[in-house]
C-alpha cells in the first residue's frame, strides 16, 4: 500500500499510446466526458441561479436548517465546478496533445484534481448526514427547538468539515502521487486497499443515513402531541422541511450508494480493464444529483408557496376583516415571495 511497493515503468511512446492515448481518444470516453461536462455546466448555471433566487427567500424559518441547506447547495456547486474543470481539461487534452506522452497529467495537477474532487465529494455526503441529524433533533425536541439549539447548525458544519478532512488525510497521507494517469478522478494505485476501505465505509454510512431518513419520514406525520400555537406552527414548518429533505436525502443517498457500489465493483473486478476509467465516469450518479437537487427544490418551494397562499385564503374571513384588510395582507404575502 506504500508508494515503494509500486514500480512505475519508464515512459515510452508505445506505453503512452497503449495506456493513455487509446483510452483518451476513444469515442466512448470522449462521449462520457462530454456528457458529464454538459451536466456539470447545467448544474453550475442553475445552482447559481437557485442560490441567488432563494438565498433570502427560502421557505424555512429556522436558522440551522437554512445554513445547512445552503451549505449543501454550495458543496454541490463546488463539485460541479471542479468536475466541469476536470472534464473540459481531459476532453480538450484528448484533441490538443502533440505527443503521446502528453496525454498523462503532470503530478502536481493530478494531485490537486484528485484531492479536491474527493474532498468535495466526501463533504457533500456528510453535509446531508448533518441535515438528517438536524431533522431528527428538531423532531425529538420540537417543544423547545424553535427557541433553542441556535448553535447546532454551525456545530454540525464544523463536524462535517473535520470528519471529511480526517478522511481525506487518512486516504492520501504519505502519498507522492507518482504514476501516469489520464483522469484526475482516479485514485493513486498505491492506495488501492485504503481507497476500497474508505468507499466501503462511505457506502455503509449512506445506507444507515437512508434508513434513518425513511424512519423519520414514516414517524413524522403520525406524531400527535398537545402543544402551544407556536409549537403547532413550528411542527407544520418541520413537516414542510422534512418532506423536502426526505426527497433530497433519499435521492442523494441512492445516488451515492449506486455510485459507490459500482465503483467498488469496477475497482475489484475490472481494475485491469483499460476502459475502466470511462466506465467509472458513467457511474458518477452524484454529478446528476447536483443538477436534480436545485431543480427539485425549486419545484417544491413553488408548491409550498402556492399551498400557503391557498391556506391563507381558505382561513381568511373577508366579511369580518374587510376588503382593505385582505388587500394589505395579500400585499404583504406577495412581497415576501416576490
In whole angstroms, give the CA distance from residue 260 to residue 254.
10
User: Is residue 36 exposed (0-12), middle (13-18) or buried (19+ Cβ within 10 Å)?
Assistant: buried
Residue 146 in this model has a pLDDT that exceeds 90 = no
pLDDT at residue 75, as a whole number: 96
Q: How confident is the model at residue 155 (pLDDT cuts 50, 70, 90)?
A: very high
pLDDT at residue 260, as a whole number: 92
Looking at per-residue confidence, does 147 or 126 come out higher?
126
Residue 301 in this model has a pLDDT that exceeds 90 = no
Which residue is it, cell 426526505? 246
Instruction: Please give the average per-residue pLDDT across 67-79, as a whole number.
Output: 94
Q: Which of 114-123, 209-218, 269-278 has the highest mean pLDDT?
A: 114-123
pLDDT at residue 127, as a whole number: 95
Q: How confident is the model at residue 109 (pLDDT cuts 50, 70, 90)?
A: very high
Instruction: Please give the average per-residue pLDDT across 261-279, as a whole number.
Output: 87
Residue 233 in this model has a pLDDT that exceeds 60 = no
pLDDT at residue 321, as a whole number: 53
3-state SS, one letter per residue, for 69-98: HHHHHHHHHHHHHHHHHHHHHHHHHHHHCC
In whole angstroms, give the CA distance from residue 210 to residue 212.
6
Instruction: Please give the average per-residue pLDDT across 263-281, as a whole number.
Output: 86
Q: How confident is the model at residue 167 (pLDDT cuts 50, 70, 90)?
A: very high
pLDDT at residue 278, as a whole number: 86
Looking at per-residue confidence, does 188 or 304 come out higher?
188
Looking at per-residue confidence, does 147 or 79 come out higher?
79
Which CATH number fits the domain that encloses residue 329?
1.20.1070.10
Q: How many domains does the chain have?
A: 1
DSSP for 42-68 reads HHHHHHHHHHHHHTTT-S---HHHHHH
Domain of residue 297, residue span: 3-337
pLDDT at residue 78, as a whole number: 97
In whole angstroms, give the CA distance from residue 332 to residue 36.
43
Share of the chain above pLDDT 90, in %: 50
Give the cell for residue 182. Answer: 489520464
pLDDT at residue 303, as a whole number: 79
Amino acid at each position: 500500500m506504500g508508494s515503494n511497493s509500486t514500480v512505475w515503468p519508464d515512459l515510452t511512446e508505445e506505453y503512452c499510446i497503449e495506456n493513455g492515448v487509446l483510452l483518451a481518444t476513444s469515442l466512448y470516453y470522449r462521449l462520457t466526458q462530454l456528457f458529464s461536462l454538459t451536466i456539470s455546466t447545467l448544474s453550475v448555471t442553475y445552482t447559481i441561479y437557485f442560490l441567488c433566487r432563494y438565498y433570502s427567500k427560502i421557505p424555512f424559518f429556522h436558522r440551522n436548517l437554512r445554513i445547512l441547506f445552503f451549505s449543501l447547495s454550495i458543496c454541490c456547486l463546488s463539485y460541479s465546478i471542479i468536475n466541469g474543470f476536470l472534464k473540459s481539461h481531459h476532453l480538450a487534452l484528448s484533441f490538443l496533445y502533440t505527443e503521446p506522452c502528453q496525454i498523462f497529467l503532470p503530478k502536481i495537477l493530478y494531485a490537486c484534481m484528485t484531492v479536491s474532487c474527493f474532498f468535495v465529494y466526501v463533504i457533500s455526503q456528510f453535509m446531508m448526514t448533518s441535515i438528517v441529524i438536524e431533522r431528527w433533533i428538531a423532531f425529538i425536541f420540537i417543544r423547545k427547538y424553535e427557541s433553542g439549539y441556535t448553535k447546532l447548525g454551525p456545530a454540525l458544519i464544523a463536524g462535517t468539515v473535520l470528519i471529511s478532512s480526517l478522511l481525506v488525510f487518512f486516504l492520501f497521507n504519505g502519498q507522492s502521487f507518482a504514476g501516469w494517469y489520464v483522469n484526475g478522478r482516479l485514485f493513486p494505485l498505491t492506495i488501492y486497499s485504503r481507497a476500497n476501505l474508505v468507499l466501503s465505509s462511505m457506502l455503509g454510512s449512506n445506507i444507515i443515513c437512508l434508513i434513518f431518513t425513511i424512519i423519520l419520514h414514516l414517524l413524522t406525520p403520525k406524531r400527535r402531541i398537545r402543544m402551544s400555537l407556536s409549537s403547532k406552527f413550528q411542527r407544520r414548518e418541520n413537516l414542510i422541511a422534512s418532506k423536502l429533505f426526505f426527497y433530497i436525502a433519499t435521492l442523494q443517498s441512492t445516488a451515492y450508494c449506486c455510485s459507490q457500489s459500482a465503483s467498488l465493483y469496477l475497482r475489484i473486478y475490472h481494475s485491469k480493464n483499460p476502459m475502466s476509467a470511462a466506465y467509472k465516469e458513467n457511474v458518477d450518479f452524484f454529478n446528476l444529483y447536483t443538477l436534480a437537487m436545485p431543480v427539485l427544490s425549486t419545484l417544491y418551494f413553488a408548491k409550498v408557496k402556492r399551498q400557503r397562499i391557498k391556506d391563507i385564503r381558505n382561513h381568511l374571513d373577508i366579511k369580518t376583516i374587510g376588503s382593505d384588510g385582505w388587500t394589505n395582507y395579500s400585499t404583504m404575502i406577495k412581497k415576501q415571495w416576490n
